[in-house]
Amino acid sequence: MTPFRVSIAAAAAALILLAVVFELIRSRRLQERYALLWLLTGLVIFVLAIWRGLLGRLSDLVGIAYPPSALFVLAAFFVLVVLLHYSTVISQLSDQNRILAQRLALLEHQLGEERGRDSEAP
Amino acid sequence: MATSTETLQASPAAGQRRRLRTLAIVPAFNEADSIGTVLEEIRAAEPELEIVVINDASTDATAKVASAAGVSVVNLPFNVGIGGTVQTGYQYALEHGFDCAIQVDGDGQHDPREIGQVLAPILDGRADLAVGTRFVTGGGYRGTRVRRVGIRIFAGVVSLMVRQRVSDTTSGFRAVNRKALRLFADQYPHDYPEVESLVLLTRHGLCMVEVPVQMRVRETGNSSITALRATYYMIKVLLALFIGLFRRYPTPQEEP
């Protein structure tokens, strides 16, 4: 069985995470679409922290002797998922950034050419 | 919080119509098959209207077809989604000094012959946003089940939040005046913007009305929203609405 103090600490940590994410969204520093995974992480950790029986059964199922370790594993798993998600987001952003730079360069060039033509005209 | 009646009185008096310049914003993503007809129909129904097509990086001939129709076309450099696309239209309207704007989707589900009806409350100064709605008496609409359920849920939540009965929160057939135009050009929600923007508008002290219209079955193409995505969007939008309750919203100032 999970030690009682571990459950309380884990639940508190999950609640703090949820509160921080909430405040970040509220103050518009975090978009909802990037917050959903964090919220899911916080919720799952919170539920498993206070529902001690479920955590015990889950650790039994995968052969973890000490239930709080299962909590760790799960948290680590979620962090991995979030990181992977961000990797895809960064890839997309860098692609879009390149496209923007190219469009801008071409437009600037076109603008320069048109200006040049205007000044040549009588 | 300002109720709709209070803001109503703040709006310009009805009947005092000067000639208002109105822009039709047509967001389009891969609508090459339908957009030509839509543009023709808008011209036929409302010849006074200026039209801009915002092309959300379509991979088909949408931009070509629109240009050939002789309307302004703004091409986004990559796909930004419906929210960003429509907002680009609002920014275009703002920069080009339009007084009002009406969004007409490029897929043909909005009947351009009803533009006049949707626009009327705006031109009369009765509201800041007018939404062409399918559920009010007279509108017929059939969609997928998930969408219908989602529309119901949103309608309930949004009605509570804006303290006004809203029967269809997801309609994109909507007209705005200059005030709402400025607000939306500045901030407009992403992925599934219709629902959130209603709350945004009323929380900023502006008011909206619904106008019953007949939606048509999409002429071509599939709705980009599948059941799974719809569920995801629903959770996302509900979250956004919930958190929005804890934000403060300044009432927009008169234009300098």
CATH no. for residue B206?
3.90.550.10
pLDDT at residue B247 tops 60: yes
Please state, in angstroms and rounded to a whole number, the distance separating the CA atoms of residues A5 and A9. 6
Please report the pLDDT score of residue A40 as a whole number.
94
Q: How confident is the model at residue A112 (pLDDT cuts 50, 70, 90)?
A: very high
Mean pLDDT of the A37-59 span: 93
DSSP state, B112? Answer: G
Please state, in angstroms and rounded to a whole number, the distance separating the CA atoms of residues B29 and B82. 9
pLDDT at residue B225 tops 80: no
Q: How confident is the model at residue B12 (pLDDT cuts 50, 70, 90)?
A: very low
Q: How confident is the model at residue B13 (pLDDT cuts 50, 70, 90)?
A: very low
Please report the pLDDT score of residue B14 as a whole number.
43
Would residue B90 count as lying in a domain?
A: yes
Query: In A, which residues are within 8 Å of B243 by CB distance?
Result: 22, 25-26, 32
Please report the pLDDT score of residue B139 as a whole number.
41
Please state, in angstroms and rounded to a whole number, the distance separating the CA atoms of residues B190 and B81. 7
Whether chain A has a CB inside 8 Å of the CB on B246: the answer is yes
Query: In B, which residues are within 8 Å of A19 by CB distance?
Result: none
Would residue B4 count as lying in a domain?
A: no
Would residue B66 count as lying in a domain?
A: yes
Mark yes or no for CB contact B191/A33 under 8 Å: yes
Mark yes or no for CB contact A32/B236 under 8 Å: yes
**Distance, in angstroms, between A61 CA and closest chain B CA?**
30
Mean pLDDT of the A98-118 span: 92
Compute φ and ψ for A83, nearest 5 degrees: -60, -45
Please report the pLDDT score of residue B104 as a whole number.
95
Query: Distance between the two ends of chain B, CA-based, in angstroms?
Result: 24
Mean pLDDT of the B150-161 span: 86
pLDDT at residue B151 tops 70: yes
In chain A, the percentage of residues whose pLDDT exceeds 70 is 98
Mean pLDDT of the A5-21 span: 95
Please report the pLDDT score of residue B9 as a whole number.
42
Mean pLDDT of chain A: 92
Would residue B12 count as lying in a domain?
A: no
Q: Give the bridge partners for B27, in sequence order.
A: B54
Would residue B254 count as lying in a domain?
A: no
Please state, in angstroms and rounded to a whole number, the distance separating the CA atoms of residues B24 and B40. 13
Determine how many CB atoms are found less than 10 A away from the CB of residue B172: 18
Mark yes or no for CB contact B243/A103 under 8 Å: no
Would residue B7 count as lying in a domain?
A: no
Q: Is residue B186 classed as helix, strand or coil in its secondary structure? A: helix
Which residues of B37-140 form beta strands (DSSP E)? Answer: 50-55, 72-75, 100-103, 129-133
- Across B20-34, B97-111, B180-194, least confident range: B180-194
Would residue B5 count as lying in a domain?
A: no
Q: Is residue B167 classed as helix, strand or coil in its secondary structure? A: coil
Please state, in angstroms and rounded to a whole number, the distance separating the CA atoms of residues B207 and B142. 28
For residue B84, the enclosing domain spans 19-244
In chain B, the percentage of residues whose pLDDT exceeds 70 is 82
Q: What is the pTM of this model?
A: 0.83
Would residue B158 count as lying in a domain?
A: yes
Give the total number of structural domains in chain B.
1
Mark yes or no for CB contact A103/B77 under 8 Å: yes
Mark yes or no for CB contact A36/B239 under 8 Å: yes
Please report the pLDDT score of residue B52 as a whole number.
97
pLDDT at residue B8 tops 80: no
**Distance, in angstroms, between B203 CA and closest chain A CA?**
15
Mark yes or no for CB contact B77/A36 under 8 Å: no
